[in-house]
Amino acid sequence: MNIRFLETFIWLARLQNFRLTAEKLHTTQAAVSSRIASLEESFDVRLFDRNSRSATLTPAGRKMLAYAERIVNLGEEMRREVEDASGDGGLIRIGVVESIVHSWFPALMARVRERFPHLEVEVTSDTTIHLAQLLRADAVDLILQTHALNDREFADQPLCEFPMRWVASPSLGLSGQPVDLARLAEFPVISFSRNSGPHIALEREFAHAVERPVRINCISSVAAMIRLVADGFGVTVLPPAIIQRELREGALEVLDVESGFVPLPLVASYRLQNHPMAARVAELAAEQARAFVLALGPDLDGAAVGTIEVDSRAAGAADIDIPAPDSPATGNAVRVTAKRPSRRSPAKAVKGAASPAETPVKAPVKAPAKVPVKARSPRAARKR
């Protein structure tokens, strides 16, 4: 006997409507009808009296309802007991936007593997709009994206925010001076996918500041956006947090543009009372996001670009060791050294520090070996 068919039977008995039942179970009316017909054929009895507007239980259907509820509840109890016996095992399907993939997601995966060694992870990278559709269709269990669902069936957990800044290739000659939107409109403008939050904000910015229509090129791949802009194709708005390497190497630069862009929110969403590990991984994602923001410091806003070594399980600030938030026992830290002075935020170079080209960012996907870091006080640094 198919328990899902019994669940469909129970919901149709409660809602008395095929369309509402299909919406509740995220399926089609035809699928609901097929499941009910299969049950009626198996028991050789009619379970519902149907008309054009409703479906009501027959006497046989009312008798069957009590047994169906007991079987479904027993199945849920069995599932919970099996999951408790296996601890953190099983499969979790995670959907993630590229802005997270290009920032703290590899470190999160390393922490998930360490915290839940028996958990199998399946990852889908897509836009926020498509990820929300996948979550509602039960095709994924948890999504890390940029827009809260605001639905009572789902939990929305804020992770962090990424400031958004105009960036371009130095070959366009836009640095060293204030640039207005009219000047930017002379170049091809590249945006996140159509109807996404950043795309809508971009259209609104140009509508208020530029009289003539501006052609905006929408691209669903963040990696493709970065490559096109670095090659001098046009200008775009991106979080400096996800282009640290390009900024450090000089392939991209943050422009001096007065803009009303709000920070890009990052949110973890999952269905309530569904996957037992979704909430735990979402909390781990929140810890890692906070650690990443703390580690970047001024670099998060593009004010300065430094050299950062990030261990997968914690974060810190310049020249100090700080354990991951809400996880004081991890014993790992982030090292931030020798920030390059920016035009807006001048800073003195640290004597003896390696150049950005000599010290790459270390944020491996696999769990890295611990790198010992010695705390150094500001007074000791000045004596050097």
Q: For the segment 112-167, what is each residue's pLDDT rounded down to a tens digit?
A: 999 998 889 999 999 999 999 999 999 999 999 999 999 999 999 999 999 999 99
CA distances 193 to 138, 162, 245, Å, are 23, 17, 23
> Given this structure, which CATH class describes domain 3-86?
mainly alpha
- Can you read off the two tokens belonging to residue 8? 């469909």
pLDDT value of position 371: 41
DSSP-H helix ranges across 210-243: 222-230
* Sequence ranges of the domains in the chain: 3-86, 90-162+264-383, 165-254
Checking if the pLDDT of 373 tops 80, the result is no
pTM of the complete model: 0.56
- Can you read off the two tokens belonging to residue 166? 């105009």
Give the residue among 307, 282, 285 at the shortest CA–CA distance from 295: 307
Please state the φ and ψ torsions of residue 5, each to the nearest 5 degrees.
-65, -40
Do the domains spanning 90-162+264-383 and 165-254 agree at the CATH topology level? yes
Q: What is the share, in percent, of the chain residues with pLDDT greater than 90?
A: 56
Checking if the pLDDT of 348 tops 70, the result is no
- Can you read off the two tokens belonging to residue 27? 């399926």
Q: How confident is the model at residue 301 (pLDDT cuts 50, 70, 90)?
A: confident
> Given this structure, which CATH class describes domain 90-162+264-383?
alpha beta
Where is pLDDT greater, at 84 or 176? 176
**What's CA 345's distance to the chain center, in Å?**
30
Q: What is the mean pLDDT of the chain?
A: 79
Q: How far apart are CA 226 and CA 32, in angstroms?
A: 46
Residue written as tokens 């830290």? 333
Helix axes 105-115, 278-296, angle to 10 degrees: 130
Q: How far apart are CA 331 and CA 350, in angstroms?
A: 26
Q: What would the mean pLDDT of 261-281 be, rounded to a whole number?
A: 90
User: Do the Cβ atoms of 162 and 266 come closer than 8 Å?
Assistant: yes
Domain 165-254: CATH superfamily, name plus number: Periplasmic binding protein-like II (3.40.190.10)
Helix (H), strand (E) at residue 165: strand 165-168
**What's CA 98's distance to the chain center, in Å?**
8
Give the residue among 188, 295, 203, 283 at the shortest CA–CA distance from 236: 188
Burial label, 16 (beta-carbon count in 10 A; 0-12, 13-18, 19+): middle
- For residue 355, give the DSSP letter: P
Q: How far apart are CA 265 and CA 286, in angstroms?
A: 12
Instruction: Collect all residues with Cβ–Cβ distance below 8 Å to 146 and sequence separation of at least 6.
Output: 97, 99, 128, 196, 197, 264, 265, 266, 267
Q: How far apart are CA 261 and CA 247, in angstroms?
A: 20
Checking if the pLDDT of 370 tops 90, the result is no
Cβ atoms within 10 A of the Cβ of 116, count? Answer: 19
Give the residue among 146, 155, 254 at the shortest CA–CA distance from 198: 146
Return the CA Rg of the chain.
26
Give the residue among 321, 341, 319 at the shortest CA–CA distance from 331: 321
Checking if the pLDDT of 168 tops 70, the result is yes
